[in-house]
Structure 1
Amino acid sequence: MADDKGPSVESLLEEARLAAVMPSPEERLRLRTAAKLSRTQVAQACGVGRQTVANWEAGTSEPAPPARLAYLRLLEGLAQLHPAPAEAPEAPAAPVPAAAVAPVFAEAYSAFGPDGLVVQGEMAPCLRCGAPTPYKATDGRSLHPGGFCPAPAATPVSASPPAAAPATEPAAGAPAAAVPAPTTSASSAPAPGPDSSPAALAARNAQRHQSQRRARSAARAQADTEQLIVRAVRTELDKAEGDADAATAALIKRAIPDVMALFDETRVNARYDYTAYPALPDILHKPKKGDPDLIWEARPNWRHPDHRRHPDGPLHVTALDVNAAYLSAMKTWLPIGKLEHSTDGTHDRKRAGVHLITPPPWDHRDLPNPLGDRDEPGPLWVTESTLRLLLRLAGPKYRLLDEPPHIHESWTSGATENFLDALRVLLAGARTKAIEAGDDVTEAYVKAMYAKFVSTLGESVHNREIMRPDWMHLVRSQAFANLWNRAYKAHQAGLTVISVMGTDELHVAGDWRPVFPEGRGLGEMKVKTDRDGEPVIYTVTAPDGAR
C-alpha cells in the first residue's frame, strides 16, 4: 500500500511508461512550439523555472521528479495533438539489412513502447532523420518510436575503405551491397565522390531535413508570433466594448509581460538562451538605490553656442523627431557570453561590452560632442556603442578626433549584432501595419512594448524575466549614437544644427527634406509637435549689428 504522502503505484507505472518513450530534446521543442506554448507556461505547469524547461529542450539536463511526470504527461498530450510531420526523402533508399547496423544501435532500439504506434519490421531509413530503424508506424512508414531520433554519428552502418586498400575490396564487416563494383582501373579512376554508404547518406539526409525543419519552424513562428499582437489587441478591445482609450490603457499595462512572451517566441530556435546570463562586474550594478549608473551612455543635451543669436541669422529652425529611436537601436552589438576583464588597451570588433576610456578633446563648435554633455574630465566607463562611434570619428573617413580614445580596461565577451533583431523586425512590422491601417491602439501598444523592453532590461522591479543592465546601456547608447549620426549628416548636407536632445530630437535650420525622408517609418523623420499638435518651428535671430 502506498504512503499517503508518496506517489501511488499507478503513478509510478505511468511515469515509467511515459519515460520509456521520452521524446528527444528537439522533439520536445517542436511539440511546445507547435502548441504555441511559451517556456514560461510550461514551467508554471510543471512547477519549475523557465530556464529548467530551456535546459530540457536543449538536452543539457533531463526532467527529474517531481516535475517529470507532469512534463511527460504534457508531452504525451501534445504528441497526440501535433504528431510529427512525415518528411519523405528525396530519393528512396533501399532497405538496410539488420546485420549492417552497429550493435549499440540495435540494443538501443530493441524494445518499443506499449502505445501501439510502432511495429517491428525490416530495417529502413527513418522518415524524420534518415537513420536506419526496425520500427514502422501502423501505416507502414519507418519511424523511430516516441520521436527519439539518434544523432547520425551514433548510427554507423559501415566503415569507409582505407585509402590504401584496393577499390574492389570492401571494408571488413561491411555488406557487399554497400560497396559499388569498380568500373575503371586504379590508375585512371576519377577522384572519389561523396561517401555513398548508408551511414553517410543518413547523416546528410538528417542534416538537410534539420535545416528544412528549422526554416519552416522559423516561418511558422514568425506568423504565429505576429498573431499574438493581433489577438491581444482584439481581446482588450472586446473587454473594453470598443473603447479605444480603455483598451490602450490595458494594453500598455500588460506591455512588459507581453513583450517578454514575444521575445521568448523569437528565441525558440536560438542557440543562446537569454536567461542564462552570467554574473556581471560591479560597475554594471548601481551602488545604491537612487544613485546614478556608473556607465556613461552619452545622452545628448546640446544646444549650439549661438542658438539664440546666430551669426548666419535670422534662421528658421524646424524641430525634427526620430521615429521609434529605441526600436532602431535594438540592432547593436551585444555581448552574449561571460564578460571577461582585459587591460591590454586594444579593441576587438568581434567582442562587445563596456570600456574605461580617456576620450580625446572635442574641438568642433558646430556639432555636439559624441560623448554628450559631460562636466567631469578624466576617464569614464562607456559602452561598446559609444566606443565604436569614437573610433570611427578618429578614423580616416571622419577625422574629427585627433586620436582615438585611450582604453584603460574593458569587460567584454564574444558578441553579435543580431541578438534582438528578430524581435525588432517583428515589432517594426506590426508598427508599420498599424500606421498604414490607422490603428492607433496597436501602434501605442507596440510602442509601449519596445520602450518598456529597453527600459526594463536592467535591474528593474517591473521585469523579472531578464536582468541585463549591460544590454540596457548598450541599446540606449546606440540610440544616442544614431542621433549623433543624423546630426552629422545634417551638418554635412549644409544644414545648421541648432539642438540635439534626448533620444529623438534634432533641431536644424535649412531645407531638411532633401536630407531626411519625411514620414513615420523607421529611418524617416517627422516634424515634432507640441502639446497642442502644432509643429515646433521657430526663428533664431542675428546678433545685434549683424548684416
Structure 2
Amino acid sequence: MPPQPDAIDALLQSGPRRTELPAPAERERLRTAYGLTRTEVAQALSVARSTVAGWESGRSEPQGATRAAYAKLLDGMAAQLADTAEPAATSAATPRTQPASPPAAVLATQAPVFAEAHSAFGPDGLVVQGETAPCLRCGAPTPYKATDGRSLHPGGFCPAPAAASAPQPAAAPAVTAPTVSSALAPAPASTPELGEGTSPAALVARNAQRHQSQRRARSAARAQTDTEQLIVRAVRTELDKAEGDAGAATAALIKRAIPDVMALFDETRANARYDYTAYPALPDILHKPKKGDADLIWEARPNWRHPDYRRHPDGDLHVTALDVNAAYLSAMKTWLPIGKLEHSTDGTHDRKRAGVHLITPPAWDHHDLPNPLGDRDEAGPLWVTESTLRLLLRLAGPKYRLFDEPPVIHESWTSGATENFLDALRVVLAGARAKAIEAGDDVTEAYVKAMYAKFVSTLGESIHNREIMRPDWMHLVRSQAFANLWNRAYKAHQAGLTVISVMGTDELHVAGDWRPVFPEGRGLGEMKVKTDRDGEPVTYTVTAPDGVR
C-alpha cells in the first residue's frame, strides 16, 4: 500500500505529542519538596524505584503513557507547592527565635529603631558580609548586613560610643552620622557573646558554625524519621491486606524485604556527598570458580570450643550461652570500598582504603582464646577482608601484643573507602527495630530483621537482588560481624570469665558472672541469654577431671 500524504500531513498538523517534562533536578526538587519518596512515586507509576532515580538524574527518560502520567504528577505537585509558597514566604519573614538582647544602653538610646531593625535578622540571627555602610541602628560603619540587605551590626550589638554621654532626646533621628571614634570603639565588656578581644567577624563565624551544626542535626533527625515512615507504611499496608493476620502480614513483608531495603538504602543515599559503583569490575578472587563452590575469600567465621571443653582443669564450670543481638546490623559499620578495586603488590596497608588482601598470618599461641582468623586447617597464605586484616594488625600492635609479628601482606585489591557508608541505613533499621521491640511489635521486628539479613546476604552474586553486586561488601560486613564477636570473647576473657565456645555470628558461651561485663537486653551492643526451641535458657556444666573439685 503506497504512502498516504494526506494522513502524514494530518499527523504533522496535530503538533508534537511528546510531553514536556521539567529538568531532572527540578523533578527531584518537586518530589522532595512535596514529601514523597522515590518508592512511592515508583509504585504510583508501576515502575521500579531505580527507574525513578534514573529520571531524576537524567540517565533515562520516561516514554509513552508513563511519561504522560509522570508529567501529570509533576504538574500537580508544582501547582500545589505554588499555592502554599506565598503563605510560607510570609511566615518565613517572622523569625522563629530572636537573637540575644543587646546591651541596655543601646536599647535605651535606639529602642524605636531596634524593634524594626532587629526583626530583619533571619531565624538564626546571622548576618552576611558585604559593602561597608552605616548601621541602621547606630550609624557606625559596618560591613555586615541582615538577610534583607540592610546594614546592621551582627548579633544585635552596636559598638559603644567613645565616651559616656547622656541619652539622646526622643526627637533625635534614629540614625546619625558616626564619628571615627565611635566607629572604632570596642564593644562593651558586659557583652558575653563577644568577649574581650573577639571581633564581630569571629562572632559571626562562630554563630554560623553553631547554627550549621544544629541545622545538620535537625535535618538528619528529620530524614531518619521520614525514612522510618516507609517501614511503618509497609507494615500497615500488609496488615490491612491480611485483615490483621500477623502471620500472613509477616510472611508478605519478609517476601518483599529485599526490594524494600534497597529502597531504604536509596533514600539514605539521597543527600550523600559521593556515589558508589554498584557493579564494578571485580577481580577473579571475588568470583566463585563455579556455582556451588566455596568463596575464595576467608571470612574468619569462628567455630571454636575450648580445648578443655568436656573436662576443665579449674573444676566444674557452669556455662551460659549468650546471644549477640542483630550482629549483621551492627557490622554494617565497617570500612567499605566505594569504587572499582585496584591491584597493588607493595605490601603496605593504607587505612584510607579497603578491600581484600592476600596475607600470611602470624602464629596464634593463646590456649584460652579462639584464633581471630577463625578455625582454618590449611597453612600458608590466604585471602582475607579488610575487617579481618585490621583486627589482626590491631592485635599485633603495642596495645594487645597477641601476635609476635603482624601479618605479611602479599597483594591487595582496594579502593578509596569510608567506615560510615552504610551507617545511615544502619541507624534507620536500628531505630525501627528498637521501637518495635519496645512496642512488642513482632511483625515489624521480623520485617526489619529480614531486611538487614537479606541486604547483607544478597550483596554478592545473587539472583534475588539485581540492583547491586558487591561481593566485596558482603564479605566485609560478614567478617566484621565475626571480628565483633571475637572482640566480645576477648572482653570476657579480660574480665576474668572463662570462654568456653565461640560459634557462628552471634554465639558466645562463658563461665562466670557475665552481667557485670555485658549489658543485658535486646538492644544493639547488649547481650541476652540464648534460648532453646522451648524458650528455656541454654546453660550447662563443664565437669572437672577426676579428683579435681
- TM-score calculated relative to the size of structure 2: 0.72
Corresponding position of 1:302: 304
Q: Aligned AA for 1:29?
A: E
Note if 1:488 corresponds to 2:487: no
In the TM superposition, residue 437 of structure 1 has moved relative to its aligned partner by: 1.5
Corresponding position of 1:30: 29
Preserved contact between residue 274 and residue 466 of structure 1 (Cα < 8 Å) = no
Corresponding position of 2:374: 372
Q: Aligned AA for 2:509?
A: H
Q: 1:264 to 1:415 in 2, by over 3 A?
A: same
In the TM superposition, residue 234 of structure 1 has moved relative to its aligned partner by: 2.2
Preserved contact between residue 35 and residue 82 of structure 1 (Cα < 8 Å) = yes
Preserved contact between residue 495 and residue 510 of structure 1 (Cα < 8 Å) = yes
Corresponding position of 1:411: 413
Find the aligned partners of 2:14 and 2:94 in 1 and give their Cα distance.
49
Which residue of 410, 419, 424 corresponds with 1:422?
424
In the TM superposition, residue 306 of structure 1 has moved relative to its aligned partner by: 0.8
Corresponding position of 1:138: none
Q: 1:235 to 1:73 in 2, by over 3 A?
A: closer
In the TM superposition, residue 419 of structure 1 has moved relative to its aligned partner by: 1.2
Find the aligned partners of 2:398 and 2:500 in 1 and give their Cα distance.
26
Find the aligned partners of 2:11 and 2:43 in 1 and give their Cα distance.
22
Find the aligned partners of 1:294 and 1:264 in 2 and give their Cα distance.
30
In the TM superposition, residue 217 of structure 1 has moved relative to its aligned partner by: 5.4
In the TM superposition, residue 241 of structure 1 has moved relative to its aligned partner by: 2.6
- Alignment deviations for residues 317-376 of structure 1 (CA, whole Å, 9 cap, x no partner): 110001111111111111112211111111111111111111111111110011111111
Residue correspondence of structure 1 range 258-407 to structure 2 within 5 A:
258-274=260-276, 276-407=278-409
Q: 1:3 to 1:414 in 2, by over 3 A?
A: farther
SS at match of 2:17: helix
Note if 1:441 corresponds to 2:443: yes
Find the aligned partners of 1:63 and 1:539 in 2 and give their Cα distance.
66
Preserved contact between residue 393 and residue 407 of structure 2 (Cα < 8 Å) = yes
Q: Mean alpha-carbon deviation: is it higher for 273-282 or for 296-305?
A: 273-282
Residue correspondence of structure 1 range 163-182 to structure 2 within 5 A:
none
Which residue of 4, 9, 17 corresponds with 1:11?
17
Q: Aligned AA for 1:325?
A: A
Find the aligned partners of 1:303 and 1:390 in 2 and give their Cα distance.
20
In the TM superposition, residue 253 of structure 1 has moved relative to its aligned partner by: 1.8
In the TM superposition, residue 389 of structure 1 has moved relative to its aligned partner by: 0.3
Preserved contact between residue 335 and residue 413 of structure 1 (Cα < 8 Å) = yes
Q: 1:520 to 1:213 in 2, by over 3 A?
A: closer
SS at match of 1:367: coil
Residue correspondence of structure 1 range 394-543 to structure 2 within 5 A:
394-543=396-545
- Alignment deviations for residues 280-309 of structure 1 (CA, whole Å, 9 cap, x no partner): 222112221111111111100000111001
Find the aligned partners of 2:505 and 2:519 in 1 and give their Cα distance.
18
Q: 1:441 to 1:255 in 2, by over 3 A?
A: same
SS at match of 1:295: coil
Corresponding position of 1:222: 224
Q: 1:437 to 1:397 in 2, by over 3 A?
A: same
In the TM superposition, residue 72 of structure 1 has moved relative to its aligned partner by: 4.5
In the TM superposition, residue 68 of structure 1 has moved relative to its aligned partner by: 6.6
Preserved contact between residue 46 and residue 71 of structure 1 (Cα < 8 Å) = yes
In the TM superposition, residue 432 of structure 1 has moved relative to its aligned partner by: 1.2
Q: 1:415 to 1:45 in 2, by over 3 A?
A: same
Find the aligned partners of 2:217 and 2:44 in 1 and give their Cα distance.
29
Larger radius of gyration: 2
Find the aligned partners of 2:13 and 2:536 in 1 and give their Cα distance.
70
Find the aligned partners of 1:52 and 1:6 in 2 and give their Cα distance.
31
In the TM superposition, residue 70 of structure 1 has moved relative to its aligned partner by: 5.8
Q: Aligned AA for 1:268?
A: A
Corresponding position of 2:252: 250
SS at match of 1:11: coil
Find the aligned partners of 1:4 and 1:280 in 2 and give their Cα distance.
54
* Alignment gaps of 5+ in structure 1: 92-126, 128-156, 159-176, 195-204
Find the aligned partners of 2:409 and 2:54 in 1 and give their Cα distance.
38
SS at match of 1:404: coil
SS at match of 1:539: strand
Find the aligned partners of 1:438 and 1:357 in 2 and give their Cα distance.
46
Preserved contact between residue 33 and residue 268 of structure 1 (Cα < 8 Å) = no
Q: Mean alpha-carbon deviation: is it higher for 303-312 or for 43-52?
A: 43-52
Q: 1:313 to 1:419 in 2, by over 3 A?
A: same
Find the aligned partners of 1:238 and 1:494 in 2 and give their Cα distance.
52
In the TM superposition, residue 545 of structure 1 has moved relative to its aligned partner by: 3.4
Q: Mean alpha-carbon deviation: is it higher for 72-81 or for 444-453?
A: 72-81
- Alignment deviations for residues 222-275 of structure 1 (CA, whole Å, 9 cap, x no partner): 222222222222222233232222222222222222222222222221233456
Residue correspondence of structure 1 range 177-256 to structure 2 within 5 A:
218-256=220-258
SS at match of 1:507: strand
Find the aligned partners of 2:13 and 2:336 in 1 and give their Cα distance.
47
Preserved contact between residue 278 and residue 467 of structure 2 (Cα < 8 Å) = no
Preserved contact between residue 392 and residue 398 of structure 1 (Cα < 8 Å) = yes
Corresponding position of 1:163: none
Q: 1:314 to 1:47 in 2, by over 3 A?
A: closer
Corresponding position of 1:197: none
Residue correspondence of structure 1 range 127-146 to structure 2 within 5 A:
none
Q: Mean alpha-carbon deviation: is it higher for 211-220 or for 370-379?
A: 211-220
Find the aligned partners of 2:63 and 2:461 in 1 and give their Cα distance.
33
In the TM superposition, residue 469 of structure 1 has moved relative to its aligned partner by: 1.0
Find the aligned partners of 2:257 and 2:214 in 1 and give their Cα distance.
33
SS at match of 1:307: coil
Q: Mean alpha-carbon deviation: is it higher for 398-407 or for 244-253?
A: 244-253
In the TM superposition, residue 453 of structure 1 has moved relative to its aligned partner by: 1.2
SS at match of 2:377: coil
Find the aligned partners of 1:521 and 1:424 in 2 and give their Cα distance.
13
In the TM superposition, residue 53 of structure 1 has moved relative to its aligned partner by: 4.6
Find the aligned partners of 1:335 and 1:48 in 2 and give their Cα distance.
30
In the TM superposition, residue 69 of structure 1 has moved relative to its aligned partner by: 6.2
Q: 1:542 to 1:216 in 2, by over 3 A?
A: closer
Find the aligned partners of 1:399 and 1:537 in 2 and give their Cα distance.
33
Find the aligned partners of 1:373 and 1:432 in 2 and give their Cα distance.
34
- TM-score calculated relative to the size of structure 1: 0.72
In the TM superposition, residue 4 of structure 1 has moved relative to its aligned partner by: 9.5
In the TM superposition, residue 63 of structure 1 has moved relative to its aligned partner by: 4.9
Find the aligned partners of 1:5 and 1:274 in 2 and give their Cα distance.
45
In the TM superposition, residue 423 of structure 1 has moved relative to its aligned partner by: 1.3
Q: Aligned AA for 1:311?
A: P
Find the aligned partners of 1:411 and 1:380 in 2 and give their Cα distance.
13
Find the aligned partners of 1:527 and 1:392 in 2 and give their Cα distance.
29
Find the aligned partners of 2:326 and 2:11 in 1 and give their Cα distance.
56
